[in-house]
Amino acid sequence: MGKSTTSVITPISEADLEFDNGSFDAAGFTRQAMTNWQTVAAVIDHTLLKPDATREQVEGACDEVVRYRFACAMVNPIWASTAVAMLSGTGIPVGVVIGFPLGASLVSTLRQEAAALARMGVRELDMVIPIGQLKSGNHHAVQHAVHAAATVAHHHGALLKVILETALLTVEEKLRGAELAIQGGADFLKTSTGFASGGATAPDVALLRGVAGGRCGVKASGGIRKLADVRAMLEAGANRIGASSSVAIVREMGAE
């Protein structure tokens, strides 16, 4: 079950933007994750978020998730019930995006999406941070949006991953957004939607891990297509990968 949250939102000050580097062993995690194709698969969210994805493609992706035992199947909300039905009894969770891909939804919409999906059986929610609010300096609105979604997710035993869309942010905004997300109750900081001008980079992953330390996970997503990309993100501090090229990646390590 996800961690609990409270109804109190504490403002973030400059003093709160501190690095916590001592609690996550990226090198050790990378060695473990890169042991074989099965351990690589176990840290990858197999992702199908194309707007034109068909039922047949979603069902095919779910079959691949079961075959290779990926960390989860990540789909759009409209396909949540399909994925939940297909993965029932497998022990593999379904992940669904909310407030995606613009981070411009009303907080009430985020709550409703999170609750509806969790009631369907979705166990991982990937939410886009209110990017425009962050860039406008409205930090309370950012933390409030994350907190609202986290409260619903955790009430239903689901995880919340918060997408910062790092390609659109300055270094200061990345630092600030990461801390706001953690204080709001994020279980993971995530780099990208894959729909913006850029995806995950090792420096951004390292920055997010520097803020997170051992307080939450870090998910690298966007443009990760090869095994070498996975290794680079893990070495930088990621402990979850989002990719649509998951099958090709594990086949590089010998999966059939």
DSSP state of 139: H
Q: How far apart are CA 56 and CA 60, in angstroms?
A: 6
What's the CA dihedral at 104, 106, 110, 116 to 10 degrees?
Answer: -120
Is 50 among the catalytic positions? no
Using DSSP's 3-state secondary structure scheme, residue 205 falls into: helix
One of 45, 161, 187, 219 is an active-site residue; which one?
219
One of 126, 187, 204, 229 is an active-site residue; which one?
126
One of 161, 174, 187, 190 is an active-site residue; which one?
190
Phi, psi of 120 (to 5 degrees): -75, -20
């979705």: which residue's tokens? 122
Q: How far apart are CA 66 and CA 247, in angstroms?
A: 12
């990968």: which residue's tokens? 241
Is 219 among the catalytic positions? yes
- The token duo for 195 is 């729909």
Determine the angle formed by the axes of helices 202-212 and 227-236, rounding to 10 degrees: 30
Q: How far apart are CA 86 and CA 12, in angstroms?
A: 42
Is 190 among the catalytic positions? yes
The catalytic site residues sit at 126, 190, 219
